[in-house]
Amino acid sequence: MKAKLTHFLERYWMALALLVMLPVYWNIAVLNEQRVDYINNGFFKFWLAGHMTWTPEHPYSLEDWDAGHKRFGATWMDEKRFAYPLPLALIVAPLGLLPIPTAYILWDFLAQILIALCLLWLATRWEGLNRRLYVLFLLVAATLNGNIYLGLMTGTMAALFLVFLTLSLYFMEKGRDLLSGFVLAFAILKPPLVTILILLGLWLLFSRRWRVIGGMALGGLTLLVVGLLQDPQWLTKFLGTGDSLLGMRLGHQPTILSYTRLACAGDLTCAMTWYAVIALALAALFAWIVWKIHARLTPLMAFSLAIPLGLLLPPYIWSYDYTLFIIPIAYIAFELIQRYRTYIFATLFLLALTVLAMVGLTLFWMNPASTALTIQRDMWSIWTGVYMWAVSWWVVLRAPAAISSASA
């Protein structure tokens, strides 16, 4: 009987783990719909862009964008038009067919499932029934993570970009390099994530994985053509939003630039100069490290090196994008269990991460936007990013050669 139970759990553990969490995910989605003003947060702009795909309206039209906000009762419009590459509007078009409340609940629920599926798949690369059951603890930790929860409340597409990265990793490990690069290129639909693509590109270059690089080029070209079919001038219109976005968000986000601005007392020339120096130095350090150890890096190790730094380098980004940390979180947790044959260190790592993320989320809501030059809004969450960067690099760089080879 015990043997049959063990066999059943080993075979269906992923489905059982997800089944356990589904009621939790649904209740979170319903509660968020009841408590969150989703008409006046980030979700609405994705829904509106998707909705316009089915109408003669255009998400890059200043007049249509403004009229759409007014028609559906949105009083908050931080962007004068859709601030993302036009092909993303096609991806979210199914949401635009639904009433806004239904679309919000559905995406909130689906986003949690997508995050869970990525985490469950990542857990499969470590053997042992106990380690597989430990993924339930990781699923709970992800649910309690303040950065992920902020993304759910605001209805962002962070889970979608996690899927792109995880699928790319999956195809890479299966030897389908061209398809891996093609999917990886879709991360550019959120432009700040180009830093992750650049860092991964360095590893791919040093490792001479030309088919992945070719796939990225093919994926980028496909997105460009799809956008041109929608609007021959979409690229020019989209590039025109960059300066205004940076101006609106500078000093409010968990970025190096926000802190150099603070250190330079608001002098933007000083802030940009020091930001460039620090960012280039960190990128050079990454390049040097990867050049030295690229031969022993597995795809998962390379992703775990690149993602934390890639989320610290952009000039603007929000802490809900830390949802992408799911990949290095899984790597760190299960590597610590495997190396030290105990759950203590992995659990302490997850508890510290949860506390840091919750503190950042709490300070986000307690500290309203201000014109004063202080640490404000989402800037506090950078310490979660620094923590993940430090731990990820420590675990990867201290990986025994035997473990690195066995994981390849």
Tens-digit pLDDT profile for residues 158-211: 999 999 999 999 999 999 999 999 999 999 999 999 999 999 999 999 999 999
Percent above pLDDT 90 for the chain: 65
Give the mean pLDDT of the chain.
88
Query: Which has the closest alpha carbon to 199: 285, 271, 123?
Result: 285
Query: What's residue 405's pLDDT?
Result: 44
Cβ neighbourhood burial of 176 (10 Å; 0-12, 13-18, 19+): middle
Query: What's residue 372's pLDDT?
Result: 54
Indicate whether 402 pLDDT > 60: no
The model's pLDDT over 373-396, given as tens digits with 9 standing for 90+, comes to: 556 678 889 999 999 999 999 999
**If pLDDT is split at 50, 70 and 90, which confidence band does 112 have?**
very high
Instruction: Report the predicted TM-score, pTM, of the whole model to 2 decimal places.
Output: 0.92
Indicate whether 266 pLDDT > 90: no
Query: At CA 158, angle to CA 155 and CA 163, rounded to 5?
Result: 130
The model's pLDDT over 326-362, given as tens digits with 9 standing for 90+, comes to: 999 999 999 998 888 888 999 999 999 999 998 888 8
Indicate whether 59 pLDDT > 50: yes
Query: What's residue 363's pLDDT?
Result: 77
Query: What's residue 406's pLDDT?
Result: 47
Q: Phi and psi at residue 386, in whole multiples of 5°?
A: -65, -40
Percent above pLDDT 70 for the chain: 88
Q: Name every residue whose Cβ is closer than 8 Å to that of residue 228 and which is 6 or more positions away in sequence.
A: 234, 235
Cα–Cα distance, 102 to 116 (Å, whole number): 21
Indicate whether 25 pLDDT > 90: yes
**If pLDDT is split at 50, 70 and 90, which confidence band does 77 have?**
confident
Query: What's residue 352's pLDDT?
Result: 95
Q: Kindly state the tokens that stand for 298.
A: 């597995």
Name the more confident of 148 and 79.
Answer: 148
Overall residue count recorded for the chain in this entry: 408
Cα–Cα distance, 156 to 390 (Å, whole number): 26
Cα–Cα distance, 204 to 153 (Å, whole number): 35
